[in-house]
Amino acid sequence: MFRLIGRHFKEAFQGIFRHFAMALSSANAVTITLVLVSLLTLIVGNVSQITKNLEESIQIYVKIDKEIDEAQIPALQRKVEAIDGVGSVEYSNKDQELDRFIAGKGEGGKIFEIYREDNPLSPAFLVEIKSGYTLSGVSENLSKIQGIKEVEYGGATADDFLRVLTTIRTSGYVIILALTLLAIFLINNTINITIHNRNEEIAIMRQVGASNSYIRQPFVIEGVFIGLMGAVVPALLTIFGYKYVYESLNGQLISGMLTLLPTNPFAYYVAAFLAVIGMVVGLIGSLMSVNKQLRWRR
């Protein structure tokens, strides 16, 4: 069995070198497509990370009615936690709210220390939402709870921004799938031409009694290696190109909230993903092509 497998690999490599121009053409088709797949994967991966960071950092600020006393807070907090989409809930009493207010004013905020004795601020809940829920939807349900004075979350702008990021992420997945199918189509066409030009070779193998599966195996292995050849350049561009961009931007876009995924391991995972796609595309494309030539079955 091992001798047979070795023979198939030997014939596959011989086929690549004998028809190197066609093999290179097939590999180039895969390379061009995988460069686009790589770019989209890098974008989608970072958009997913940014969306996650924003969802975790954007909190819904829930002001509590001043008429609610401290003894009623635990029961009110349980009602807030019971709302669909609510993740964690942090309680902030009036003193903590004053501390937050003063800290937000910088050096000039110290003047508000005079309100320590007669604090006019309301206590509040700081609410984080779960992934998949909208800020506006959760905020609307929170505002219906008796004892809640006001709900703030940044308005429709924050919700729309998260929705746009989610749309980009979903669209990216669809385009990556479409490009993968395109790569299969391209390599199928180029390998089909190669195999068609080798009809005489296939006919001789049939004449000496070779089965369809025996004829098919070297071509399939050849397709896998062609796909792998086509993935080398995109993989290298992914690792070194992304590293350059990451270091140039200091790992973030605009602000620390929009952070990029670190090169290691993200870029290496994408490179490995491209290698797998290249081999799978080569396998499927060559399998489809050789099956067209081997229409009859023994």
- Judged by average pLDDT, the poorest of 64-68, 190-194, 249-253 is 190-194
**What does pLDDT average to over the chain?**
76
Residue 287: per-residue pLDDT: 78
> Taking the domains of the chain in order of start, what are their residue ranges?
2-54+167-293, 59-153
How do residues 251-293 score in pLDDT, each as one tens digit?
777 655 677 888 888 899 999 988 988 888 888 877 777 776 6
pLDDT-based confidence at residue 235 (cuts at 50, 70, 90): very high
What are the distances in angstroms from CA 225 to CA 19, 159, 163, 170, 291? 13, 46, 41, 31, 18
The CATH code that applies to domain 59-153 is 3.30.70.3040
Parallel/antiparallel/unpaired status of strands 86-92 and 148-152: unpaired
Residue 272: per-residue pLDDT: 92
Q: Name the more confident of 298 and 262.
A: 262
pLDDT-based confidence at residue 298 (cuts at 50, 70, 90): very low
Torsion from C-alpha of 256, 258, 263, 266, nearest 10 degrees: 140
Contacts of 269 (CB under 8 A, 6+ apart): none
Please report, as a single letter, which amino acid is at residue 142: L
